[in-house]
Chain A
Amino acid sequence: GQQLNQSPQSMFIQEGEDVSMNCTSSSIFNTWLWYKQDPGEGPVLLIALYKAGELTSNGRLTAQFGITRKDSFLNISASIPSDVGIYFCAGQRFTGTASKLTFGTGTRLQVTL
C-alpha cells in the first residue's frame, strides 16, 4: 500500500536540541496525525491536525498541517532522552467508516546526553 515519505529517516541529536521532521504526500489528506512508537509498544497519538495551515502544540511538540494539505511538520523543542523513539506521521481522507490511515515511513530519533 501507499506510504508517506518522512524525512529524515533517522537522526542523532544532543539533549536540549530542537528537532524538526516532515512528512510529504503526493495526494491530499483532510487529517494529519503524528504518533510516537517506543520499542515493543504500539503507537501513541501525539498531535492531531484537522485544517490546512493549522498549528497545534502539545507541550514541547508543535505540528503543522501544510497549506497544500500534502504535507505536515513536527517540531520537538529542547529534546530530552525520553524523546527517543520512532515518530510516524499518518494521513487520513475521512470518508466515514471506510476511512483509514496511511502511514509515513517513520523517523527514528536518538538523543545523546
Chain B
Amino acid sequence: GAVVSQHPSWVICKSGTSVKIECRSLDFQATTMFWYRQFPKQSLMLMATSNEGSKATYEQGVEKDKFLINHASLTLSTLTVTSAHPEDSSFYICSARGASGRGVQFFGPGTRLTVL
C-alpha cells in the first residue's frame, strides 16, 4: 500500500504554545488529506478535510482558528495546534488519498500530543 509519514511521532509541550505536525505522502500525490483525532479506546473522529491548494473543510465543532491546516503541495499537509491546552492532548492521525486508487485512504502512523 501507499506510504504516509507523520512527524513528529510524539510531542510534549507547555500550555499556551503552538505545535505543528507534518503529514507527507511518500510515494503518491495526495489530492486530498484528512486529519483525525483519536481518544483512548475510541474510534477516529474526522477533524478536517483539505484539498491541495484550497482551504480546509472543518467538521462541525472543530475550531478552525485552533487547528490550522495547510495543504500547500500534493505531498505535504500540516496541522498546527495553536495555543495548546491540556484538553488538546490526543493522538492525531493524518491520512491521504490520491486521485486514483478508487478513493482509498492511507493513514500515517499518528502523532501523540501531550500538553502540560
Complex formed: what's the CA distance from A33 to B46 in Å?
16
The yes or no answer to A66 lying at the interface (CB within 8 A) is no
Give the number of residues in A that approach B within 8 Å (Cβ atoms).
25
Complex formed: what's the CA distance from A61 to B27 in Å?
26
The yes or no answer to A75 lying at the interface (CB within 8 A) is no
Interface residues in A72-104 (C-beta closer than 8 Å to B): 88, 92, 94, 97-101, 103-104
Contact (Cβ within 8 A) B105 A42? no
Complex formed: what's the CA distance from A50 to B103 in Å?
10
A42-B109, A97-B51 in contact; A103/B103 too (CB < 8 A)? no
Partner of B104, one of A1, A45, A100, A104: A45
Contact (Cβ within 8 A) A45 B103? no
Complex formed: what's the CA distance from A92 to B57 in Å?
17
Contact (Cβ within 8 A) A42 B103? no
Looking across the interface, which residue of chain B has its beta carbon closest to that of A46?
B1
Looking across the interface, which residue of chain B has its beta carbon closest to that of A108?
B41
Q: Mark B7-47, 1 if CB is under 8 A from A, else 0.
A: 00000000000000000000000011010000000111110
Give every chain B residue within 8 A of A103 (Cβ-Cβ). 43-44
Contact (Cβ within 8 A) A43 B102? no
The yes or no answer to A67 lying at the interface (CB within 8 A) is no
Q: Please give the distance in Å from A35's CB to the nearest CB on chain B.
A: 7
Q: Which of B93, B103, B105, B109 lies at the interface centre, i.e. has the most chain A CB atoms within 10 A of its CB?
A: B103
Contact (Cβ within 8 A) B103 A92? yes
Q: Mark B86-116, 1 if CB is under 8 A from A, else 0.
A: 0000010101000000111111111010000
18 A-B contacts, Cβ less than 8 Å apart? A1-B45, A1-B60, A31-B102, A33-B104, A35-B107, A42-B6, A42-B95, A43-B44, A43-B107, A48-B102, A88-B43, A88-B44, A98-B57, A100-B34, A103-B43, A103-B44, A104-B43, A106-B42
Q: 6 shortest A-B CB distances, which residue pairs?
A: A42-B107, A42-B110, A43-B107, A94-B103, A103-B43, A42-B109
User: B-contacting residues of A (Cβ < 8 Å)?
Assistant: 1, 3, 31, 33, 35, 40-45, 48, 50, 88, 92, 94, 97-101, 103-106
